[in-house]
Structure 1
Amino acid sequence: MSTMPETMSDTTPTRGYTDDQKYQIFNKEFMPHIDSMYNFAFRLTMDEDDANDLVQDTYLKAFRFISSFEQGTNAKAWLFRILKNSFINDYRKKSKEPAKVDYQDVETTYNSEDSETEHTVDLRAETVSDLIGDEVATALNSLPVDFRTVIILCDIEGFTYEEMAKILDIPIGTVRSRLHRARNLLKEKLRDYAASMGYNENIDD
């Protein structure tokens, strides 16, 4: 399994591959995901310049620590984890957005009566086809970053719960509960918009 140092530094050695092999791995395994990486970075930062900087930093780190990547494993998940860590360590320090979501208010409103029973609605199957794409994007962008992230990883990028847990460094149970609450928050925002446009019947439970 591919591993990535928890703390990256310029002194971390790179071993195991020749220079030619490194470039081959980089071009074959990493570069095909650059569009997804930028989309993820932009959804996190909400700024084009910051997103470009974050992607560039991610690819520099990926090349520097390429010896930690095992060919044949999920390169996309490995890159997303580096990007997520870079976002937390670098961007959030200067961001106006709080580093952590205050889940208490959210849980009070959206926590299930039976936390062990899932009533999560998959957004890909949600009846919101009549809604304008830009409005869905606006609603998604308005979510707290931690909730926005799990929706992007699961419903847009298609990662499994197990992959998301590794990317985010949280237990699978936390992934499930956070995704459930994030989807409910997004659904509420979409419902508000739909109501204003007369689409109530399309998204009511």
Structure 2
Amino acid sequence: MQGKILEQLYENYAKELTIYAYSLTKQMSEAESLVSDAFFQLSCQENPPPAIKFWLFRVVKNHFIDQQRKKRRWRWVPFSSQQSDEKPNPSEQLLQKESQQQLHQAIAQLKAPYQEVLILFYFIDWPVQVIAEYLNYSNGQVRTILYRGRKKLKEVLSDEK
């Protein structure tokens, strides 16, 4: 794939992909690594995939799933929780606000389909049709998952108070 096209695609989709990857990994360095891997894999393609945006999101998700499987397979001695020496970047500073942290923690308590659809809809601003196309669901299924996810999120947030 040509460098200019790849650069334009990176400018268009990197921010959304990073937000999505961060929602999966909860660590900015891992999220950036997933996004980098996705664009590297795109650069290795001779013919660009038909829906590049969805393809990139699918690659990020699949790489994350692969990493989780490897972590489950290879359990090492657990490390004590250590603070990272990395300087907080703007997205981490944004998440440090108390209300947003509470919201992210509540979303993390939900089951996978609710988490993913809520994040894609509210944080990445995808319309229902795009989410349905990406997840291979009907529009009605996505709306139902959104409704139920909001309902469960409301329950989680009211339980915390």
TM-score of the superposed pair, with normalisation by structure 2: 0.69
Write out per-residue CA displacement over residues 57-103 of structure 1, whole angstroms, 9 at most, x where no aligned residue: 21112222362346xxx754442233223334x1342356xxxxxxx
- Equivalence for 2:69: 93
Segments ≥4 residues shifted beyond 4 Å:
none
Q: In the alignment, is the contact (CA less than 8 A) between 2:19 and 2:124 conserved in 1? A: no
Q: In the alignment, is the contact (CA less than 8 A) between 2:21 and 2:34 conserved in 1? A: yes
Q: Letter of the aligned partner of 2:122 in structure 1?
A: D
- Equivalence for 2:135: 168
Q: In the alignment, is the contact (CA less than 8 A) between 1:41 and 1:54 conserved in 2? A: yes
CA RMSD of aligned residues (A): 2.6
Q: Does 1:57 align with 2:37?
A: yes
Which has the higher relative contact order, 1 or 2, with Cα contacts under 8 A spaced 6 or more apart?
A: 1
Write out per-residue CA displacement over residues 5-36 of structure 1, whole angstroms, 9 at most, x where no aligned residue: xxxxxxxxxxxxxx5xx211111123332222
- Where structure 1 has 5 or more consecutive residues not aligned to the other structure, the ranges are 1-18, 97-130, 197-205
How many percent identity over aligned positions?
27
Q: Does 1:187 align with 2:116?
A: no
Aligned residues: 136
**Greater shift in the superposed pair: 147-156 or 76-85:** 76-85
- 3-state SS of 1:132 partner: helix
Inter-CA distance 45–95: structure 2 relative to 1 (3 Å threshold): farther
Q: Letter of the aligned partner of 1:44 in structure 2?
A: L
Inter-CA distance 173–93: structure 2 relative to 1 (3 Å threshold): farther
Larger radius of gyration: 1
- Where structure 2 has 5 or more consecutive residues not aligned to the other structure, the ranges are 73-97
Q: Does 1:24 align with 2:1?
A: no
TM-score of the superposed pair, with normalisation by structure 1: 0.56
Write out per-residue CA displacement over residues 134-180 of structure 1, whole angstroms, 9 at most, x where no aligned residue: 21122122222332111111111111222112222333333222222
Greater percentage in helix:
2
Q: Does 1:177 align with 2:144?
A: yes
